[in-house]
Amino acid sequence: MRIAMISMHTSPLMQPGIGDAGGMNVYVLNVATHLARQGVEVDIFTRATRPSQGEVVEIGDNLRVINIVAGPYEGLTKEELPTQLAAFAGGIVQFVKCFGVDYDLIHTHYWLSGQVGWLLRDIWEVPLVHTAHTLAAVKNHHRAATDTPESEARRICEQQLVDNAQVLVVNTLEETNDLVRHYDAEPDRIRVMSPGTDTELFTPGTTKNTELARRHLGIPMHAKVVAFVGRLQEFKGPQVLIKAAAEMLARDPDRNLNVIICGGASGASARLENYKNLAHELGVAHRVRFLDPRPPQELVTIYQAADIVAVPSYNESFGLVAMEAQASGTPVVAARVGGLPIAVAEGETGVLVDGHDPADWADALTQLLDDDATRMRMAEDAVVHASNFSWQSSASTLAEIYAEVLSTEIPECPKRFAMGNDNH
């Protein structure tokens, strides 16, 4: 089986937390890696962002990343990438023609890739599987009041993909419901594949590991630490955590609280300084530390150094950060949205908060930080919970979905294109 995966707007090799790179990058790279280990040949097509990348990057046996030149290497925002869809699709067609590659199936990630895959499906006459990761209608439904809404153009493009893909792969049953509710998707064309986590990398730290992690990060040993990991944008909710920390310290100025925010600004209007200024305005700048995004091998140190990881997103299709934190033995306080109620076992491995009121978040964080016994129990249970989610299992499920799709006959041309003699 040979699969063409398309991830146009962000390469799976990019550092998560920088620009548009995030959970989707982790998802695509890990699923592709484990599919390749199971004998599936995978080529991941992405847009080239610098000339030094090379056209073809060999990741391992059966796995390549192919960088397609479409527009200038730098200077294009994600919002401007629709202007390069034709160039990107053309680049893929040219690559396939030059190298004589044939694919059994196309799997696209995000709506930009989906639009390209929709075209290539009909050129190559192979099935199209699509994973949205996020949806415009859902993001607009859950967005923060100050967040920029997603465009109607994007929503229309997503509707086209829902109508035309052979199968839609989602992370959770909640996503299935979102597709049916907002896009009138046919439930029998939706398949659920739960994402996983790297439980070999993200492991619980010993007391010594925690001490080393805090020393490395310059965190006082006896402080209570809450960490946020992710892109800095309103939708991910770092402002909710900063405001909650201010509320906690207003209630108890002597509280030994430290907040770590690890990530880079993402989006046209996002600025790191906005969040630093917010912390300064609220009088908690001395308790909030901002760290640049870092690779998974270093990210585990942050999880191990934290007492709690906060995930105050306005929506998450699953919540990979929450799962990585739990695999590292750290309880999670998360918003009760999207797939987070599945990623976090409420009352066992963390706490779910209704809404994004900083006072409610302050209550939840305070209660768990002050209850050492419960927090320690949750830390142990979190590791067990995370062990039930593996990328190997995810890839196996996806391979089964591919096999099912390939065993199903692709519909012939729509009837609206049929021409009778009276149309001549």
16 annotated to bind ligand: yes
Residue-wise pLDDT tens digits, 345-361:
999 999 999 999 999 99
User: What confidence score (pLDDT) does residue 18 get?
Assistant: 65
418 annotated to bind ligand: no
336 annotated to bind ligand: no
Own/partner long-range contacts of 123-128 (Cβ < 8 Å, ≥24 apart): 123/93, 124/96, 125/410, 126/410, 127/166, 127/167, 127/405, 127/406, 127/408, 127/410, 128/164, 128/165, 128/166
Burial pattern 16-26, b for ≥16 Cβ within 10 A else e, equals bbbbbbbbbbb
402 annotated to bind ligand: no
* Residue 270 near residue 56, CB atoms below 8 Å: no
Mean pLDDT score, 371-394: 95
273 annotated to bind ligand: no
24 annotated to bind ligand: yes
104 phi and psi angles, rounded to 5 deg:
-85, -25
Own/partner long-range contacts of 266-273 (Cβ < 8 Å, ≥24 apart): 266/18, 266/19, 266/20, 266/22, 266/231, 266/232, 266/233, 267/148, 267/231, 267/233, 268/77, 268/79, 268/148, 269/148, 270/231, 270/232, 270/233, 270/234, 272/232
User: What confidence score (pLDDT) does residue 414 get?
Assistant: 53
Angle subtended at Cα 74 by Cα 69 and Cα 79, rounded to the nearest 5 degrees:
90
Mean pLDDT score, 324-351: 95
306 annotated to bind ligand: yes
User: What confidence score (pLDDT) does residue 23 get?
Assistant: 80
Cα 179 from Cα 135, distance rounded (Å): 9
pLDDT above 90 coverage of the chain, percent: 75
Between 365 and 266, the higher pLDDT residue: 365
Residue 143 burial (10 A CB sphere; 0-12, 13-18, 19+):
middle
Q: Name the 3-class secondary structure at 135.
A: coil
134 annotated to bind ligand: yes
* Residue 220 near residue 214, CB atoms below 8 Å: yes
158 annotated to bind ligand: no
User: What confidence score (pLDDT) does residue 270 get?
Assistant: 72
330 annotated to bind ligand: yes
Residues in contact with 189: Cβ distance below 8 Å, sequence separation at least 6, in sequence order: 165, 166, 167, 168
78 annotated to bind ligand: yes
User: What confidence score (pLDDT) does residue 220 get?
Assistant: 87
User: What confidence score (pLDDT) does residue 269 get?
Assistant: 67
Write down all domains in the chain, each with its CATH number in brackets.
2-196+391-417 (3.40.50.2000), 207-386 (3.40.50.2000)
Cβ atoms within 10 Å of 272's Cβ, excluding its own: 14
Residue-wise pLDDT tens digits, 218-250:
888 889 999 999 989 898 999 999 999 999 999
147 annotated to bind ligand: no
pTM: predicted TM-score of the whole model, two decimal places: 0.83
82 annotated to bind ligand: no
User: What confidence score (pLDDT) does residue 412 get?
Assistant: 61
User: What confidence score (pLDDT) does residue 76 get?
Assistant: 86
DSSP string, 163-203: HH-SEEEESSHHHHHHHHHHH---GGGEEE----B-TTTS-
152 annotated to bind ligand: no
Residue 424 burial (10 A CB sphere; 0-12, 13-18, 19+):
exposed
Q: Among 93-102, 200-209, 244-253, 325-334, which is the least confidently predicted range?
A: 200-209
117 annotated to bind ligand: no
Which residues is 261 bridged to in the sheet?
Answer: 228, 290
User: Are β-strands 224-229 and 308-311 bridged in parallel, bridged antiparallel, or unpaired?
Assistant: parallel
User: What confidence score (pLDDT) does residue 322 get?
Assistant: 96
Mean pLDDT score, 319-344: 95
Own/partner long-range contacts of 318-321 (Cβ < 8 Å, ≥24 apart): 318/23, 318/171, 318/172, 318/194, 318/195, 318/342, 318/343, 319/343, 319/344, 320/23, 320/26, 320/27, 320/195, 320/197, 321/23, 321/229, 321/230
Q: What is the CA radius of gyration of the chain?
A: 22
User: What confidence score (pLDDT) does residue 423 get?
Assistant: 46
